[in-house]
Amino acid sequence: MKYLFAAVMLASAVVGFSEAASAAGGCGPGWYRGPYGGCRPMAGRPPVVVVAPAPAPVVVVRPRVCPYGFRWYAGRCRPI
């Protein structure tokens, strides 16, 4: 039971720190929180480049080789 409790405590600590470690304080990439809490652009850093995702692969359905009631097995159509 103490190992389960320790694992839960460790998991909650990791989750808690991961949110606090998110950069920009909620302003987004390329921005930071200013002295009065407003979002300001990061000067001197190149702008963030957003790349579109690759297109989805094309799925081609192969034609049916054997007639209904048969299946392809060991190099030829065989009855089920």
pLDDT digits (tens, 9 = 90+) for 23-57: 556 787 778 888 888 888 887 766 667 888 999 99
Alpha carbon distance 39, 34 (integer Å): 6
Alpha-carbon distance of 57 to 52, in angstroms, equals 15
Q: Is 55 helix (H, G, I), strand (E, B) or coil?
A: coil
Domain of residue 57, residue span: 1-79
Categorize the per-residue pLDDT at 16 as very low, low, confident or very high, splitting at 50, 70 and 90: low
Q: What is the pLDDT of residue 15?
A: 62
pLDDT mean across residues, the chain? 77
- The total of structural domains in the chain comes to 1
